[in-house]
Structure 1
């Protein structure tokens, strides 16, 4: 089905006329910070028009159909960075309200109202948004609410508790509970998000246990073959074949999540040794996601017009994770910024849809003329926002740590309640001593979870 935002409704009778328009409604000078910020503002305002969780009678932290719950957490991450890069705080309160509404009874982003749409990757996108809020110095929640760092720690701990050595010699399953469709699959994005979050927590807190988990998770992904010797990132593998049968589709966000996770580990280890080699190799392999080695595209589905609702947002995350990579691993800047610059120019050419002639489409590549391609939605709008605002990344300070500019309160035992265990023997997470400036003690309650959800990942 087509989904139209209330303020940007596009009547079918007008589509041919819009498709023939050749003016560039979003002006973008990639060498001018003010121009970049202005383009990002247009894209961000268009994105938020799809969100109604701040309206009376609506649920904070939810996007309307056909969007799944996880994408709202991803959107909040984009808006956190939008505030950081532009200073525009008009969306901050909806982000704070929505994230706090969705934390769930154990403060681990496992809310009862999402029992039919919860996988490890879904949960992790919210946890990563909380981690970003801590690192960016985003306004803290009220003192009586769980804090950003503690929320990220709760997600990490609940997932470390699910490390499954009984099959495939380790890794996270896609789904948390055995009655969910997809429980028999270990996918790269779930394991990549866990690796990524562990790396960011290691850098922020200085706690070596997080770094050890990051390395353990990364090594497993390589050993099982989801990361190939030439640094392709496959989608996932089935448990019943001991992870020998794989889906070899490559998605942009899988490359991006490992690129940035490796960059954080590179930063922790002062740019030497294992992580320097791995980051360099991963970076070179990202070329597969850039048509003619210039402009980002979703290689597995975009050329065929087959990207589904979820997949239309994946470029947003590659752009986001490339941007932060330039901040923690300076040697990546030239290559990444060449890619992002060309991609942003392509995106701006396509942000010409809707009655306002500023709605962003899906395809940025040169084979699409300077016109709207007819696609629109949260994924399209968020992807344009991310590729615009991350042009600013190299000129901004890197993410905070607890010993620099970070001021978020943590709880290293958050999310470790026994009731989080999905019915099998799991190794509980150990995160060492307290780090940072003091911690809240969070009472971890049991969760009532269930349902099914099959996210293409």
Structure 2
């Protein structure tokens, strides 16, 4: 973890950079946002053990010695891919690529042998989302003898699409089970997130490839979620139900489910040139997501945060929440007027409470109070990183417009960067210069923070 250096010059630069007085950022200045995000990303990677000899590559510290399950590694790389795409910072490219490849497993489908016995469909899908996300932004392909990002995403889709992963009768007929293997606890539970992640992957593949198979799969997946009651008329998104009775709903609201359903719908809206059905879904999900998870303009994990009941897994959900909304305003630019002010407000509060640790800039989980809660970790850093990057314009091909339908068989998107610039242009040339100086200073100081 970062330590404050004794070198007086380094301390001076850290003070100028805000590291001794918390994380400071002007959410209306893209250069300031990028500089703050660079610091958060740097601190995030202090929690990644994969660059230490003898430690597993691609994942965070897993049980029994650590607190983070296998899927959180996929979430880490998705957050860094989004950061890279929106900030232009390529510092972590090697880590991202190595991490995504090391965990693919013998069949190139993100089922490594040492995790299969406890793997859920949602776990595998999160890694598939990372792979399709890498393809979507045009991230450099892995070296020779390694599968391409699109291949990995397609392989995960095919696994999730298969009948043997699904319920074959009753009112849950066709729904994707939570767990993959019958021996696992949770095999007889229908988790909304597994079905939503599958839908999201299908939607992204539809847009990237133009293949109607993926488009139909995405449509069918959304329809099924509605039919079994996991999406309410008000666009609440529920947690799941027992496989034998999908009418007995667990109505717990989790932001990861709402955000990933919204993001997938935005991909379909973009892919279908603004189809009315997908627009209606985007509109409904935007309104309800903002209402439920941003009660005062700041992200709150409603189901657990207010009573301090969040599990370690739930601490990661705010990263998905902000990334889902951030990509929505790129894929459906008309939503920016409603979504962006809330994202800015949330990002501002998120950054303001990053005053912890010996560096004076580590982040906590509770943002709405404005006070650091003394609870640090990779999930907290990822949440703030995604909050900041969500208000930056996407640079890669994920940023589309309603005339973009994908690239056909080439497997790379032809989406164009939206003319909207969510973080705003820097107000003056001076602001840009100062922001750049802050970013440079943070990079120089990397050698001191050991």
TM-score after normalising by structure 1 = 0.81
Looking at structure 2, the residues matched to 350 and 363 of structure 1 have their Cα atoms a distance apart, in angstroms, of: 8
Q: Secondary structure at the match of 1:186?
A: strand
Q: 1:312 to 1:341 in 2, by over 3 A?
A: same
Looking at structure 2, the residues matched to 400 and 360 of structure 1 have their Cα atoms a distance apart, in angstroms, of: 32
Q: 1:96 to 1:405 in 2, by over 3 A?
A: farther
For structure 2, the 5+ residue unaligned runs are 5-18, 413-450
Looking at structure 1, the residues matched to 144 and 399 of structure 2 have their Cα atoms a distance apart, in angstroms, of: 23
2:193 equivalent to 1:189: yes
Q: 1:396 to 1:99 in 2, by over 3 A?
A: closer
Looking at structure 2, the residues matched to 232 and 47 of structure 1 have their Cα atoms a distance apart, in angstroms, of: 31
Give the corresponding residue for 1:146: 147
Structure-to-structure mapping, 1:24-423, within 5 angstroms: 24-64=21-61, 65-161=66-162, 162-167=165-170, 168-240=172-244, 242-365=245-368, 368-369=369-370, 371-393=371-393, 398-399=398-399
| Structure 1 residue corresponding to 2:410, chosen from 405, 413, 436 | 436
Instruction: Work out whether residues 359 and 381 of structure 1, in 8 Å CA contact, stay in contact via their aligned partners in 2.
Output: yes
Looking at structure 1, the residues matched to 397 and 143 of structure 2 have their Cα atoms a distance apart, in angstroms, of: 26
Q: 1:294 to 1:201 in 2, by over 3 A?
A: same
Instruction: Work out whether residues 294 and 342 of structure 2, in 8 Å CA contact, stay in contact via their aligned partners in 1.
Output: no
Looking at structure 1, the residues matched to 333 and 2 of structure 2 have their Cα atoms a distance apart, in angstroms, of: 41
Instruction: Give CA-to-partner distance per residue, 1:269-319, whole Å, 9 cap, x none.
Output: 211321111111111111333443411110111111111111011010010
Question: What count of residue pairs does the alignment treat as equivalent?
Answer: 390
The Cα shift of 1:109 comes to 0.3
Q: Secondary structure at the match of 1:237?
A: strand
Instruction: Work out whether residues 273 and 404 of structure 2, in 8 Å CA contact, stay in contact via their aligned partners in 1.
Output: no
The Cα shift of 1:116 comes to 4.2
For structure 1, the 5+ residue unaligned runs are 1-5, 10-21, 408-433, 439-457
TM-score after normalising by structure 2 = 0.82
Q: 1:248 to 1:307 in 2, by over 3 A?
A: same
The Cα shift of 1:344 comes to 0.4
Looking at structure 1, the residues matched to 321 and 130 of structure 2 have their Cα atoms a distance apart, in angstroms, of: 15
Instruction: Give CA-to-partner distance per residue, 1:131-184, whole Å, 9 cap, x none.
Output: 111111111100210110110111000100124333412110000110010001
Q: 1:400 to 1:111 in 2, by over 3 A?
A: farther
Looking at structure 2, the residues matched to 77 and 281 of structure 1 have their Cα atoms a distance apart, in angstroms, of: 25
Looking at structure 1, the residues matched to 156 and 74 of structure 2 have their Cα atoms a distance apart, in angstroms, of: 13
Instruction: Work out whether residues 287 and 293 of structure 1, in 8 Å CA contact, stay in contact via their aligned partners in 2.
Output: no
Q: 1:8 to 1:165 in 2, by over 3 A?
A: farther
CA RMSD in angstroms comes to: 2.3
Larger proportion of helix: 2
Looking at structure 1, the residues matched to 189 and 295 of structure 2 have their Cα atoms a distance apart, in angstroms, of: 33
Instruction: Work out whether residues 67 and 309 of structure 1, in 8 Å CA contact, stay in contact via their aligned partners in 2.
Output: yes
Q: Which shifted more, 97-106 or 166-175?
A: 166-175
Instruction: Work out whether residues 271 and 404 of structure 2, in 8 Å CA contact, stay in contact via their aligned partners in 1.
Output: no
